[in-house]
Amino acid sequence: MFTPTLFKSQIKTTLGALLCSSMMVSNANAWSEHSLISYPILNTMPEVAEQAPIKVETLAEFVIAEAKGLEKLLASNETWLRENFAHYKPRPDALAFDAVNQDLQTSFIHAIRINPNARVNPYIQLLPGQDEQGRRRMDSSEVAVFTNLAHYNTMTFVEVKSGDMVTPMEVLVSANDDPDNGLDIGLFEDSNTEAGKLYGFGKQAFGNPALEYSSQAPFHMGFYHESSILFTLAPFLRETFPDYRVHMYKALSEYAFSTGHDYWGWRFMGWGMHYIGDIAQSYHSTLQPGVSTASSIWTNAKDIMGYPQAKIDAIQLLSNRHLVLEEFQEIITKKAYEDNDFSSALFTALTQETAVVEYNDNTFVEVFAKNSYDKSDKLAGYLERWVPEQLVSDPSFEVDGSKEIKMIVQLIREQHGEEGITKMTNLLAEFMLDHNANTRSYVRAILSHKS
């Protein structure tokens, strides 16, 4: 027999393992290269695309120039978060930004609780086909913190320096990927880092703290709409923080614009945009897309009673499907760029002027995350119907690193013909249309504060 407490601790292990699986693979990013998705959206927003070039400023320059104002802003933002976000982990008082601190940049980094090793120097990530303009090409390690940088091989980064002129578009599109480049790595008590011990985020609720990439998972996934019984059994599901990140970066962006520091206005806006993109992907908003709560709990119960196979299978399928969606998106997106196919379903979804909700403090959770959660059953259904069984319904098959995943489009075509490709592409386009609407909503809300 098992006691309720034991059951609870077991369910934590099991559900935690489920969540962990989706971030275990080396490059599970929700969407591959956010910049390729956000560029077509932003390029059709005249309020972004037609902005005049702006002057680059380093983080230290911004923080030193605005020390007093930032001290006030961050203090009032902290108060707001404590009062309004029920599951917020308060920033320890000792980390409050201090305008007379000797090392203002470090004080700022601690106050906003990002990875102190994150690369915050100005840079630009070139878009496919964009010229280097004589700028120095940077090594991936100057932009991202990871030990393994293999998946950065296809991207080009160039250096920009304080005083250089850049377009807001260049800043925004580059900054959009920053949160996947290391801002949220190693921030938990059990991350075995100094920052983790200081920051007050507690122990990592799910994911594997031993895996470098996995420690950002609770910042890039948000579970707000699971059934109440799941939250009761597994309260750690509440320990996710993308809503906090979005709120803070929006406040910083608006502050930077209002004080004439446009470079940081656009850069912070880009950081917030990242989480808005992530949450639009059902595997980042839903514990187990396509699986009922009852079934989740039954899988866990069997595991506890000594029959772990259902759990092991569920973990494998979750991971496989997450990767299949991401790889399909990556191939279709890169192909659309290669072909300059601006009439493709994908570009049409990203470039159309679509209905946009007016953004407020609840929009991220109540609209963006909710839409994504509501689409999760449909997404799982499409994967089961239109992707070869081996890749999405065979728990004995490991998709990560397989040759089949690279051939995903071809395999769909072989089995389901052009209809399969069209169905899956149209589904992807539906997610991209949400991505489009969410981005416009967020960017417009910030720019309404820009003079």
Question: Which residues of this chain interact with Zn ion, rule CB under 5 A?
Answer: 180, 220, 278
CA atoms within 13 A on the CB side of 355: 0
Residue 66 vs 278, nearer CB to Zn ion? 278
Cα R_g (the chain), whole angstroms? 22
Least spacing, CB of residue 77 vs Zn ion, in Å = 22
Residue 78 vs 178, nearer CB to Zn ion? 178
Q: Which residues contact 114 (CB under 8 A, 6 or more apart)?
A: 183, 184, 187
Residue 180 vs 262, nearer CB to Zn ion? 180
Least spacing, CB of residue 99 vs Zn ion, in Å = 32
Distance between CA 153 and CA 214 in Å, rounded? Answer: 21
- The answer to whether 92 and 201 are in contact (CB under 8 A) is no
Least spacing, CB of residue 5 vs Zn ion, in Å = 34
Residue 283 vs 386, nearer CB to Zn ion? 283
Least spacing, CB of residue 284 vs Zn ion, in Å = 8
Least spacing, CB of residue 326 vs Zn ion, in Å = 11
Distance between CA 288 and CA 293 in Å, rounded? Answer: 9
- The answer to whether 352 and 346 are in contact (CB under 8 A) is no
CB atoms within 10 A of CB 335: 13
Residue 281 vs 300, nearer CB to Zn ion? 281
In 151-236, which residue ranges form alpha helices assigned H by DSSP? 168-175, 194-199, 217-220, 228-233
Distance between CA 200 and CA 91 in Å, rounded? Answer: 6
Residue 219 vs 382, nearer CB to Zn ion? 219
Residue 220 vs 247, nearer CB to Zn ion? 220
Q: Which residues contact 54 (CB under 8 A, 6 or more apart)?
A: 165, 166, 167, 168, 171, 262, 263, 266
Least spacing, CB of residue 274 vs Zn ion, in Å = 6
Least spacing, CB of residue 218 vs Zn ion, in Å = 11
Least spacing, CB of residue 301 vs Zn ion, in Å = 32
* Phi and psi angles of residue 58, each rounded to the nearest 5 degrees, phi first: -75, 165
Q: Report the candidate in 403, 412, 410 with the shortest Cα–Cα distance to residue 384.
A: 412
Residue nearest to Zn ion (CB): 220
Least spacing, CB of residue 241 vs Zn ion, in Å = 12
Residue 213 vs 359, nearer CB to Zn ion? 213
Distance between CA 303 and CA 325 in Å, rounded? Answer: 28
Residue 33 vs 57, nearer CB to Zn ion? 33
Residue 262 vs 278, nearer CB to Zn ion? 278
Listing DSSP states for 138-151 in one string gives: EPGGGT---S--GG
Residue 254 vs 278, nearer CB to Zn ion? 278
In 183-260, which residue ranges form alpha helices assigned H by DSSP? 194-199, 217-220, 228-233, 242-258
Distance between CA 354 and CA 357 in Å, rounded? Answer: 10
Q: Which residues contact 338 (CB under 8 A, 6 or more apart)?
A: 128
Listing DSSP states for 75-125 in one string gives: HHHHHHHHHH-TT--PPPGGGS--TT-S-HHHHHHHHTT--TTS--S-EEE
Query: Three-state DSSP class for 130?
Result: coil
Least spacing, CB of residue 164 vs Zn ion, in Å = 28
Least spacing, CB of residue 332 vs Zn ion, in Å = 19
Instruction: Give the DSSP H or E segment for 152.
Output: none
